[in-house]
Structure 1
Amino acid sequence: MSLNRTEIARTGLELTANLERSGLPREDVARDLGFSTRRLTETLRVGPASDPADVWLLRDYLDREIRERGDLPHPWTVLTDAARESATRWFALRTPPQRRAS
């Protein structure tokens, strides 16, 4: 499963929009996911060095955090629930950890 340039750009925008919607500081998200700030930045960009499993992990983490606050995430157009089925065949997807208190 690989994304084309348009899908990569769209996914990066959606991840960033949902990070903003979550209201969580980047440092907290990185800490909760066990990412360095550089790894988080690369994952948000869906850059060439990003791990697809990390992209899904971040997506799922943000989606859950936003929903737990009673809001709806910005719609996912590439990383949809239907796309997860295919992704599980290609990548070792992980369940996002619970948010740690700051």
Structure 2
Amino acid sequence: MTLNDTERHRTSDELKSNLDLSGLTMAEVAADLHFTPQRLRSTLDTDLACDPVDVWQLRDYLDQAVRDTGGRPAPYTVLTRGSRLKARMWFSLRKAPRHDFAAS
């Protein structure tokens, strides 16, 4: 499963919107996901070098973080439930951790 340029840009915008909605910092997200800052930036940008499994993990992490703060996540137009089923055929997706907002 490969995203075209339009899908990558749209996905990047959606991830960044949910990062903003989560209220988390890049450092908090990187620490929770055990990503380096460069790996997180690459994943947020959905650049050609990023790992698709990282994109799905970040998507799920941010979606849950927004919900945990009582918000409503920005919808995903490419990383949908149907797309997840297809992605599972290609990749071993990882469960996303949850941010401990009580410790923040």
TM-score, normalised to structure 2, is 0.94
* Alignment-mate amino acid for residue 90 of structure 2: W
Question: What is the Cα deviation at residue 98 of structure 1?
Answer: 2.3
Q: Which moved more, 1:42-51 or 1:66-75?
A: 66-75
Q: Tell me the distance in 1 between the aligned counterparts of 2:84 and 2:13.
A: 19
Q: Tell me the distance in 1 between the aligned counterparts of 2:98 and 2:67.
A: 13
Q: What does the per-residue CA deviation read over 1:34-61, in whole Å, with 9 as the maximum and x for residues that have no partner?
A: 0000000000000111000000000000
Percent identical across equivalent pairs? 51
* Alignment-mate amino acid for residue 83 of structure 1: S
- Show structure 1 runs of 4+ deviating over 2 A: none
* Alignment-mate amino acid for residue 10 of structure 1: R
Q: Tell me the distance in 2 between the aligned counterparts of 1:82 and 1:59.
A: 14
Instruction: Name stretches of at least 5 consecutive residues in structure 1 with no aligned partner.
Output: none
1:40 aligned partner: 40
Q: Tell me the distance in 2 between the aligned counterparts of 1:66 and 1:47.
A: 23
Question: What is the Cα deviation at residue 81 of structure 1?
Answer: 1.3
Q: CA RMSD in A?
A: 0.9
Is 2:9 the counterpart of 1:13?
Answer: no
1:83-98 alignment, distance < 5 Å:
83-98=83-98
TM-score, normalised to structure 1, is 0.96
* Alignment-mate amino acid for residue 16 of structure 1: K
Instruction: Name stretches of at least 5 consecutive residues in structure 2 with no aligned partner.
Output: none
How many residues align structurally?
102
